[in-house]
Amino acid sequence: LNPTFASGGSIDDLVAEGLLHPECSKIFRPKRDETDSGSRPITLHRHQREAIETARSNKSYVLTTGTGSGKSLAYIIPIVDRVLRQEPRQPGVKAIIVYPMNALANSQVLELEKFLRFGYGQGKEPVTFARYTGQEQGEAREAILRNPPDILLTNYVMLELMLTRPEERRKLVDAGMFPVSEATLF
């Protein structure tokens, strides 16, 4: 069974209300490839909108809802919005998203590419992101340390290692947002 969720309006509606940064209208559209800028905005569920409103007021929240209901967007959209609103833009990690398994982190990287890379091109993303799960080899890890992304996707094992390694802790663990995906699995 897949329940029908109440509508929370479109991304464009939230931008028009001032709840989201204007660039979110371009980012959060379904896209097929890097040249596609998307033809329509994403329509949100009410629980996603409420999560965005809560995050915008700088309050913590826990969201529990069914599979396929858009939990990831309920924390990705507020992260992207907060990064876009930073003036002047400061380098470094603004959010660390923790996943219980690498497969979930890998899947989320693909989703972030659709929103943040498609329509912009690699290296031109309005908000940067990287996976840091232990699967990355030497040069890829060094590149992340030299130029930390806005959003870092990791797992709980790597988070623990980052906290115990002084260079990684200094360069990567200074995030203002700290979503935990699938918290019930920890």
| 87 Cβ contact partners less than 8 Å away, ≥ 6 residues apart | none
Which are the contacts of 11, defined by CB distance < 8 A and separation ≥ 6?
20, 24, 25, 28, 29, 41, 42, 43, 44, 77
Count of domains observed in the chain: 1
Statement: residue 67 has pLDDT above 70:
yes
Residue 101 lies in a domain: yes
pTM tops 0.85: yes
Q: What's residue 1's pLDDT?
A: 39
Residue-number span of the structural domain to which 43 is assigned: 7-185
pLDDT attached to residue 71: 84
d(CA 46, CA 44): 7
Q: What CATH number is given to the structural domain containing 26? A: 3.40.50.300
According to DSSP, residue 90 is labeled P
E strand segments, the chain: 7-10, 43-45, 95-99, 129-132, 151-155
Domain assignment present for residue 77? The answer is yes
Q: Is residue 2 part of a domain?
A: no
The answer to whether position 130 is within a domain reads yes
Please report the pLDDT score of residue 168 as a whole number: 77
Q: Could you report the per-residue pLDDT of 90-128, keeping only the tens digit for each?
A: 888 888 888 888 888 899 999 999 999 998 988 899 999
Question: pLDDT digits over 28-65, tens only?
Answer: 999 988 888 888 999 999 999 999 999 999 888 888 87
Q: Which residues of 153-169 are buried (b: 16+ CB within 10 A; e: fewer)?
A: bbbeebbeebeeeeebe
152-174 mean pLDDT: 81
| Per-residue model confidence (pLDDT) at position 2 | 52
Answer whether residue 1 is part of any domain. Answer: no
